[in-house]
Amino acid sequence: MENIAEIRAICESIGCEYRENVPLCRYTTFRIGGPAPFFLLPRTTEEAAAAVKALHGKVRIVFLGKGSNLLVADEGVDAVVIHLGQNFSDVEVDGETLVCQAGASMSKACAAAWKAGLSDLEFAWGIPGSVGGGAYMNAGAYGGEFSQVVAWCEHVDEAGKIGRFVGEELEYSYRKSRYSGKNYGITRVAFRLEKGNQAAIGARMKELFQRRREKQPLEYPSAGSTFKRPEGAYAAALIEQCGLKGLRVGGAMVSEKHSGFLINTGNATCADVLELIRQVQQRVREQTGFVLEREVQLLR
């Protein structure tokens, strides 16, 4: 970043909590990643909007949720990171609508839905991200995905204007939304749910969580499934078929338990993971013809 003094002065003038040189490995489930030169923690949507407006055109801005789908470069990021965390974690039930601030965890949202006897969010129980990250990614599991339940998202656009996308305007498709590739900040998400049976909702959540525990290497840092599901196949099955379980580069390894997960065995770097991704993609392409596209977002 060339204009550090200018960006520092702007960050100081915004009035929200900000820190410098924050190691992002502390904010990612992979436990990998160098520093963010500037790290902002706005308290309100208006504060986030003011920050974006002040920084617009001067520096790249990246919104960070719970870092559960991120691979951050070892040398850190050339951007101001805006983290919607604790300050954005309210969840409210309004009839059959669940309105969540973007930094709320998926587990908090799912628990609130269960408590209110609202169904259709059970699939997301156990996804370790934030509601905002899920809305960005169109996160999904076990036949459900955000696109089926999101009514609207409130955001701060790239120029700092507060707006909303409703229903079809979100342009959801597999692990994609209208926000993909943009630097909008999602600040609130509303889910349209259905009245259901609380005991049945709880039982379904428990069952799905159990499946995760049995199938996924939750004891290791990772970012979940590394690759998207290619048309007509499953990434994990292809990787296993190619004999790549346990393949290692440095501290990064293809999980023995779930070959769709690349895990950090303790001291993996971003470079290790990227090289492992490259090798897996190459071997799968050569041996099966399928092209594996990365689902995990690379942040540099």
Q: How far is the CB of 120 from ligand FAD (least distance, A)?
A: 16
Residue with tokens 């979940």: 224
Q: Which helix (H) or strand (E) holds 222?
A: strand 222-225
Q: Which of 122, 175, 188, 204 is catalytic?
A: 175
Residue 40 as a binder of ligand FAD (CB under 6 A): the answer is: no
Task: State the pairing for strand pair 185-192/261-264.
Answer: unpaired
Residue 281 as a binder of ligand FAD (CB under 6 A): the answer is: no
Measured from the Cβ of residue 295, the count of other Cβ atoms closer than 10 Å reads: 18
- Residues 202-221, mask of contacts with ligand FAD (x by CB under 6 A): --------------x-x---
- Residues 72-111, mask of contacts with ligand FAD (x by CB under 6 A): ------------x-----------------x---------
Residue number, 107 or 279, with CB nearest to ligand FAD: 107
Which stretch, 61-69, 203-211, 232-240, 246-254, contacts ligand FAD (CB under 6 A)? 61-69
Q: Which of 225, 229, 255, 259 is catalytic?
A: 225
Sequence-distant (6+) residues with CB within 8 A of 260 are: 225, 226, 227, 234, 235, 236, 239
Residue 223 as a binder of ligand FAD (CB under 6 A): the answer is: yes
Sequence-distant (6+) residues with CB within 8 A of 52 are: 61, 82, 156, 157, 158, 159, 160, 185
Residue number, 79 or 117, with CB nearest to ligand FAD: 79
Residue 170 as a binder of ligand FAD (CB under 6 A): the answer is: no
Six-digit token string for 232: 């007509």
d(CA 83, CA 67): 10
Residue 186 as a binder of ligand FAD (CB under 6 A): the answer is: yes
- Contact assessment for residue 39 and residue 22, using Cβ atoms and an 8 Å cutoff: yes
Sequence-distant (6+) residues with CB within 8 A of 95 are: none
Residue number, 57 or 181, with CB nearest to ligand FAD: 181
Alpha-carbon distance values, 278 to 227, 272, 287 (Å): 11, 10, 14
Nearest to 126 by CA among 35, 4, 29: 29
Which stretch, 53-61, 113-121, 134-142, 270-278, contacts ligand FAD (CB under 6 A)? 134-142
Q: Which of 96, 122, 145, 295 is catalytic?
A: 295
Backbone angles phi, psi at 22, to 5 degrees: -90, 120
Residue 260 as a binder of ligand FAD (CB under 6 A): the answer is: no
Residue number, 96 or 154, with CB nearest to ligand FAD: 154
Contacts with ligand FAD by CB under 6 A lie at: 29, 62-70, 84, 102, 127-130, 132-134, 136-137, 139-141, 179, 184-186, 216, 218, 222-224, 297
Q: What positions carry a catalytic annotation? A: 175, 225, 295
